[in-house]
Amino acid sequence: MKVPGVPPAELPDLNRAQDRISFVYLERCVIHRDSNAITATDEKGIVHIPAATLGVLMLGPGTSITQQAMMLIADNGATVVWVGEHGVRYYAHGRPLARSSRLLVAQAAAVSHRDRRLRVARAMYRMRFPGEDTTNLTMQQLRGKEGARVRRCYRENAQRTGVSWNSREYDPDDFTGSDPVNQALSAAHACLYGIVHAVVVAVGASPGLGFVHTGHDRSFVYDIADLYKADVTIPVAFDIAAAESTDIGADTRRAVRDRVHNGALLGRCVQDIRRLLLTDSAAGPINEEEFDEEADNDAVRLWDEGGLELAGGRNYGGYVDF
C-alpha cells in the first residue's frame, strides 16, 4: 500500500553537513511544511527554507512548529534547537545524515581506551597550539597551556577593541546579570554549540562521548567547539561589546552567522571530527572519498565475535547448530 504524503528524501539527495546553511534563527512565527521546504509564517508573510540545506534551526520565543515540519527536518538530518530569549538552551536533534556507524564505533573505542583517548585529547590541543609539540604533555600541562592561551586571547581582543575586560562571568539563568562582553560571549557560544552539535549529529558521532570534557551529554560538542572559540566567538563578542549594541543577543547571532559563513566553519568542523576519530598514527590520514561512500551506505549488518560483519535481513536458522 502506498503511504500518502510527500516521501522522505533519499540519502544521495541530501546536502552534506559541510555544504549546509550553518543555522537559521526564527522567533514569533508558525513553522509548517510545504513539500520539502520549511515555512515560517508571521504577520509579514511566509518564508520558505529548503530543509535539505539546513544545518540547525533555532526556535526562539513565540514559535510553534507542526508535526509535519518536524518530520521533514528529521528526515533531512537537520537539528532543531528550542532556545530561550537569548539562546541558552538545547533540546532536540534529528536523525544523522550518516547512515554508517563507523565514526561512532571509532569514537567509542578511542574514548574507552586510556592511551587512545589521551592521543585524541593531545591532538585537539595541538590544533589550538600551532607549531607546538604536545606529544609528551600530560592533561594537567595541556590544561595549563590552554588556560594561558585563552587569557591571552581575551586580553588581545580587549586591547584590539578597547573593551574593558576583567574575567569570564555569567549566570545561565540570568543573561543580563553580566556585563555586555560577557553577555555577547554567552550568546556567541550558544550559537557555536548549536552549530557544532548539528555537525556532530549529522556525521554520526555521539555528542556525549568527549575526550577532554566528560560526564555531560554534550561533552564532545564542547570539545569540538573549543577548537574555534578563539577564531570565531571571542572576537565576535568583543566586536559586539565595542559597538555598544542595544540588542546583544540578536546582534551577536547575526555576527556569528556572518563569521561562520565567511570562514566555512561547517566544512572545517566535519574534517576535524573525521581526522580526530579516524586518523590512525600508523595508517595515516583517512581516505575522504572512501569514507563518504561508506557513510552513504544504508545497509544494516550483523556483528560476529570472529570479527566478521554478516548481511542483515536474513534467517540464519539453517546455518547454526543449537
As a whole number of angstroms, the distance between CA 202 and CA 81 comes to 14
Q: Does residue 86 sit in helix, strand or coil? A: coil
As a whole number of angstroms, the distance between CA 261 and CA 258 comes to 5
The DSSP element (H or E) to which 41 belongs, if any, is: strand 37-42
Residue 64 per-residue DSSP state? E
Question: How many Cβ atoms are within 10 Å of 308's Cβ, its own excluded?
Answer: 9
Tell me whether residue 226 is annotated as binding.
yes
Residue 19 per-residue DSSP state? G
CB neighbour burial string for 82-108, b if at least 16 within 10 angstroms, e if fewer: bbeebbbebeebbbbbbbbbbbbebbe
Question: What is the 3-state secondary structure of 118-181?
Answer: HHHHHHHHHHHCCCCCCCCCCHHHHHHHHHHHHHHHHHHHHHHHCCCCCCCCCECCEHHHCCHH
Q: Identify whether the C-beta of residue 222 lies closer than 8 Å to the C-beta of residue 210.
A: yes
Residue 174, C-beta contacts closer than 8 angstroms, at least 6 positions apart: none
Q: Give, in degrees to the nearest 5, the angle at Cα 243 between 239 and 249.
A: 75
Q: Are strands 37-42 and 45-50 parallel, antiparallel or unpaired?
A: antiparallel
Q: Are strands 56-59 and 24-26 parallel, antiparallel or unpaired?
A: parallel
First to last CA, the chain: 38
Tell me whether residue 213 is annotated as binding.
yes
Which residue in 217, 192, 215 sits closest to 207, CA to CA? 217
Q: Which residues are annotated as a binding site?
A: 146, 213, 226
Q: Provide the annotated binding site for Mn(2+).
A: 146, 213, 226
